[in-house]
Structure 1
Amino acid sequence: MISVLLTGCSSHLQANAASGMAVHDDCKLRFLDLKAKRTFRFIVFKIEEKQKQVIVEKLGEPADSYEDFTASLPADECRYAVYDFDYVTEDNCQKSRIVFVAWSPDTARVRSKMIYASSKDRFKRELDGIQIELQATDPTEMGLDVIRSRSN
């Protein structure tokens, strides 16, 4: 009876062998909505240490700005985030890139930084379609100028 209950639970979570973190299905579903349907401008993900899983913390509306995105990242806590970056090329072509940000501010707890760092690659693999990756410890490391320079 217990094994049936346990296998029933595992369909919603996939454990991360390296860090023991699971990725909630909602993370992948919301990412697909952002990528395919452009339902969201950005998604902020948080690791729930007690449940040992990555969850969706905040969804940005399609009309939200980059400033709204950066303001949604806490000043002293780590997060993962994806941002749908629209831009115009020198040839006047409208393009879009999905940017993954590993936000790890200097003021975050050391334990939190370690958990986010050890879980990042596995979590990122769950989100198929990331085109740019940024590791940021302060807002200047993920400014629009940085993203633009990496988009071409």
Structure 2
Amino acid sequence: MANAASGMAVHDECKLKFMELKAKRTFRFIIYKIEEKQKQVIVEKLGEPVETYDAFAACLPADECRSPDTARVRSKMIYASSKDRFKRELDGIQVELQATDASEVGLDVIQSRAS
């Protein structure tokens, strides 16, 4: 089990689905979340290849981490302490985008960072 300093454990499905996305483009996007009771990062949503940016944006929670700065302080601390470990587990991440509100994950922002 991981502690707060090292971040949450990463469920094997997270790695497997990331590899599928990377190698086969099976999904348009993957949304992960921390399941505090299980003390691990899990897959919350797999975006089908035909889904759009708007479908992705609609999946981001309005008041929880993975999107706004208005999330609970405890939740933000858990996500912050888990981010580096999570990135190490998903081998091959090329671009990182950290956002504190929806305007920072706009399609134009994502496209400019990815190019």
Deviation at 1:27, TM superposition (A): 0.2
Identity of paired residues, percent? Answer: 81
Kindly report the root-mean-square deviation, in angstroms, between the aligned alpha carbons of the 2 structures. 1.7
Where structure 2 has 5 or more consecutive residues not aligned to the other structure, the ranges are none
TM-score (normalizing by structure 2): 0.91
Number of aligned residue pairs: give it: 115
Which structure's residues are more often strand, by fraction?
A: 1
Partner of 2:54: 67
Does the alignment pair 1:30 with 2:13?
no
Please give the alpha-carbon distance, in whole angstroms, between the structure 2 residues aligned to 1:137 and 1:119: 16
Does the alignment pair 1:57 with 2:44?
yes
Which structure's residues are more often helix, by fraction?
A: 2
Structure number, greater radius of gyration = 1
Partner of 2:72: 109
Partner of 1:136: 99
Contact 1:19 1:115 in 2 (8 A): no
Where structure 1 has 5 or more consecutive residues not aligned to the other structure, the ranges are 1-13, 80-102
Do the aligned partners of residues 151 and 46 (structure 1) sit closer, same or farther apart at CA in structure 2, a change above 3 Å counting? closer
Contact 1:46 1:57 in 2 (8 A): yes
- The equivalences for 1:9-28 within 5 A come to 15=2, 18-28=5-15
> Larger RCO: Structure 1 or Structure 2 (Cα < 8 Å, ≥ 6 residues apart)?
2
2:98 is paired with a residue whose SS is strand
Please give the alpha-carbon distance, in whole angstroms, between the structure 1 residues aligned to 2:14 and 2:32: 8
Contact 1:16 1:122 in 2 (8 A): no
- The equivalences for 1:41-52 within 5 A come to 41-52=28-39
TM-score (normalizing by structure 1): 0.70
Please give the alpha-carbon distance, in whole angstroms, between the structure 2 residues aligned to 1:131 and 1:16: 27
Structure 1 outlier segments of 4+, above 6 Å: none
